[in-house]
Structure 1
Amino acid sequence: MTTSPSPATPDKTLSRDLASGALALAIAEIAEDAARLILPYWRSDTAVETKSDDSPVTQADRAAEALILERLAALYPGVQTVAEEAVAESGAPAQAEDWFWLIDPLDGTKGFVRGGEAFTVNIALIHAGRPVAGVVTAPATATTWRTDAPGQGAFRRQFGEQQEGEAHSGAEWRPIKVRDRPAEGMALLSHSVTDEEAARLAARHGCTRWQGTDSSLKFCLIAEGRFDAYPRSGPTSEWDTAAGQAVLEAAGGRVLADDGQPLSYGKPRFLNGPFVAMGG
């Protein structure tokens, strides 16, 4: 008989499933189910509301977050969750616990509303301030990137459509890794920066060319060896970066804060300062 993990010992359950790789596979399935839920709202004139920080939110954000929270609670009860829309409505927790989830159910909502493809679902597990597992799913392209057991690399797959009651379907998971820095590196930048600032940031990190894109997709494109750096000077929330950082680090890359140390989590108000994500 199968029993659910005990809420009294979430650390033991998480440690076991993290070490075996089962946790990353489980949260990949959750992220892909959230992606399937989001897609009917895409390019459908879904209503857009404005949150207190002037960022947009849609029913797709809220529905995806509800699904993720419900599924994580069923698998790992008793583990703290820090999710974007819950924080927007009720405020951030006063402090982070030793283990906690960081969730962005729809990263890149502005692009999603415009009908662009660069929006993602992000789920990351944090332990002692570090992202130890993460999944990023791009619903528009049916692509998922994930970590594995610690030290076992990062993987990508295309996931298929799923009918109600069917098992999860998708292509085989394939390993990814960062590339060695070429002579003329290519940077990815947020669309929120000016061309002048983008060129400056790219050059600062040894890149002669740059391209703008939305969401945590930037981390994943570096992780699979297509780009070389993603410098960020403006503020971000921890749920924007944690899953992408987990994937990139598993693929051999780095995400460093201004002090040269790996970007950490559980900071006051769950906010990041400047950082740079790098490949080889």
Structure 2
Amino acid sequence: MTIDLVVPEEVELTTLLDELRKLSWASADVLMAYARGEEPPYGFQKSLTVEEGGDGPVSAADMAVNELLISGLKNNLSFKDWDILSEETSKEETFQRDKHKKDWCWILDPLDGTKDFLQGSENYAVHIALIYKQKPKIGIVLIPEKNELWIGIIGTGAWFENRDGIKNHFSFSERLDITKLVLVSSKNHQQSILKNLLSTLCFGETKKIGSVGCKVASILRGEADVYISLSGKTSPKDWDMAAPHALIEAAGGIFTHADGTNLIYKDTNYSQSGCLIASHGKCHQKICQKAMEFFSLEEPEYLV
């Protein structure tokens, strides 16, 4: 019988989760310091403003959390035979894609929701995902300003806890009628095709939040029911989707392409192109069906 692993056989899950908690809350300390213009902990330098000749608080925060997470995963865990893919390291000139071929891989987004971070909003997050053979197994979404650490383990379940380790219950909404569902949408990515699709689907209400992790957390809390991503000139990347995907699936929700196929990670360009739909799962198939009908009739070239 095949065992569906969520961590390598040599790794003890409880030990791994304890380390992820430490790294997550350390990341929260760093991001919140930069967000408030304070001196960051752990020896990271206070950011310069762009006017002072620096790269600004976002770049400084991204790189600090990136360094913290990668060094923690490399140095504080005995198991070493996994890749680490981060949004930040993928930008480096020395990055070599063909070296990232191991079955186990961490996918990191040190700061998801950059514009919310800059605007002083609470809707930014840290994404940490562990994938195995291109499929998500563990998803961590940290929302520092809400004091929420969301943890999802495929086949086990999902929960969120505060800095004191107190676990909290959550529940999806009971909304089933598509016309009553609450969509959670991006504040800054509203291309015309998406607007037309949403007009066709006729959801009951739309809430706008920046970070994908924060969007999915709002679905788990029952505040929203569905999230739709539609790539345009650019596509979201693995680090945008992997942790939220693992989290909502572990909780019993669904995250797929509009045609119902699964998201695959570490594929071409690390892109997640097309129409992606995450929901509480109770009418996911119906949403996907209506979306595919829209593309077939109104935007057939989008499916090519």
Q: Equivalent residue of 1:14, what SS?
A: coil
- Number of the residue aligned with 1:217: 214
Change (3 A) 1:139 1:212: same
- Number of the residue aligned with 1:68: 69
Whose radius of gyration is greater, 1 or 2? 2
Change (3 A) 1:125 1:271: same
- Number of the residue aligned with 1:248: 248
Q: What pairs with 1:1-280 in structure 2 (closer than 5 Å)?
A: 14-15=8-9, 17=11, 20-44=13-37, 46-47=47-48, 57-74=58-75, 75=77, 76-90=79-93, 91=95, 93-94=97-98, 95-148=100-153, 150-159=154-163, 170-183=164-177, 184-194=180-190, 200-205=196-201, 207-215=203-211, 216-234=213-231, 235-273=235-273, 274-279=275-280, 280=282
Q: Equivalent residue of 1:77, what SS?
A: coil
Aligned-pair identity (%): 26
TM-score under structure 1 normalisation?
0.81
Q: Which has the higher strand share?
A: 1
Aligned counterparts of 2:172 and 2:267: Cα–Cα separation in 1: 28
Deviations 1:41-78 (A, max 9, x none): 003294467xxxxxx94211100010000111121323
Shift, 1:209, TM fit: 1.1
Q: Equivalent residue of 1:256, what SS?
A: strand
Q: Which ranges of structure 2 fall in alignment gaps of 5 or more residues?
A: 39-46, 51-56, 283-304
Q: Which ranges of structure 1 fall in alignment gaps of 5 or more residues?
A: 1-10, 50-55, 160-169
Q: Equivalent residue of 1:179, what SS?
A: coil
Aligned residues: 252
- The answer on whether the counterparts of 2:194 and 2:230 sit within 8 Å (CA) in structure 1 is no
Deviations 1:119-172 (A, max 9, x none): 101100010111100101011222110014x4221001121xxxxxxxxxx141
Aligned counterparts of 1:263 and 1:118: Cα–Cα separation in 2: 24
Which ranges of 4 or more aligned residues in structure 1 deviate by more than 6 Å?
A: none
Aligned counterparts of 1:209 and 1:197: Cα–Cα separation in 2: 18
Shift, 1:271, TM fit: 0.8
Q: Equivalent residue of 2:123, what SS?
A: coil
Shift, 1:204, TM fit: 4.8
